[in-house]
């Protein structure tokens, strides 16, 4: 991941302005008041925010912001759709070994506020799977060449390893449950959330 980020920074001629470092979200290795902003993109949903966000607040300068882009589920969901959501969550917990959880927008807000953030804004965007996004997704991935090469490598690995085949199967089942089932996906989307270190 760090290597990819460094390559991307190089392509964008930003290498002299950025550094990349891996750290545990529950135990950030930075002094307090270090940053103007902390961002998570599809990471907070794999964390316990009430454990991680007080640490994010600690490393933010006064007036700095935490911004998140994460999945949400609606507050009210019919029982049948809810049990499929819970099955999907369980699959991603099993694959990752992490406490993956879809929270409602009000629970996301609560996580910010209970951790000490103020001026919290949570915006909801339903329907996480956008139609007609295929071409721009291929472009974001690095083009058709890179996509086909990666798919080929994945296929070769899957053919060699039963464990990997099982894992790919579970990912596909989890995605089918949470994103491709119209009766479920209408209750799921993503939020953009922001909160200020007072
Ligand atoms: C779905 S990935 C998102 C990655 C990235 N946002 C992207 O778009 O490629 C979730 C990431 O959360 C990271 N993660 C989970 N728990 C973590 C923790 N305690 N500290 C740091 N990273 C964590 C995992 O390593 C994984 O890379």
Does any domain span residue 113? yes
Q: Which atom of ligand 1 is nearest to the CA of 47?
A: 16
pTM of the predicted protein model = 0.84
pLDDT at 88 over 60: yes
Q: Which domain holds residue 76?
A: 31-132+178-196
Q: How many domains does the chain have?
A: 1
Whose alpha carbon is nearest atom 24 of ligand 1?
A: 43
Does any domain span residue 71? yes
Does any domain span residue 81? yes
Give pLDDT tens digits for 170-188.
989 998 888 888 888 889 9
The helix-helix angle for 162-175 and 79-96 (nearest 10°) equals 150
The CATH number of the domain holding residue 188 is 3.40.50.150
Does any domain span residue 93? yes
pLDDT at 163 over 80: yes
Does any domain span residue 167? no
pLDDT at 129 over 60: no
Does any domain span residue 155? no
Q: What is the DSSP letter of 117?
A: -
Does any domain span residue 183? yes
Which residues, other chains included, contact 50 with Cβ-Cβ below 8 Å and sequence gap of 6+?
111, 114, 115
| Averaged pLDDT for residues 27-41 | 97
Does any domain span residue 101? yes
What is the whole-number distance in angstroms between the Cα of residue 78 and the centre of ligand 1? 30
């Amino acid at each position: 991941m760090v290597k990819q980020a460094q390559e991307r920074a190089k392509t964008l001629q930003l290498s002299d302005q950025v550094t990349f470092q891996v750290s545990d979200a529950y135990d950030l290795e930075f002094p307090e008041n270090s940053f103007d902003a902390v961002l998570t993109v599809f990471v907070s949903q794999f964390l316990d925010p009430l454990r991680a966000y007080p640490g994010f607040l600690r490393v933010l300068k006064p007036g700095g912001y935490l911004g998140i882009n994460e999945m949400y589920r609606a507050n009210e969901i019919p029982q049948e759709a809810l049990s499929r959501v819970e099955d999907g969550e369980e699959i991603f917990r099993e694959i990752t070994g992490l406490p993956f959880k879809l929270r409602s927008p009000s629970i996301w807000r609560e996580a910010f506020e209970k951790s000490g953030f103020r001026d919290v804004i949570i915006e909801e965007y339903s329907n996480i799977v956008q139609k007609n996004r295929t071409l721009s997704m291929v472009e974001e991935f690095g083009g058709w060449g890179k996509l086909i090469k990666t798919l080929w490598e994945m296929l070769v690995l899957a053919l060699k390893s039963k464990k990997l085949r099982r894992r790919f199967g579970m990912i596909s089942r989890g995605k089918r449950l949470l994103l491709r089932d119209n009766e479920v996906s209408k209750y799921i989307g993503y939020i953009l959330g922001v909160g200020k270190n007072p």
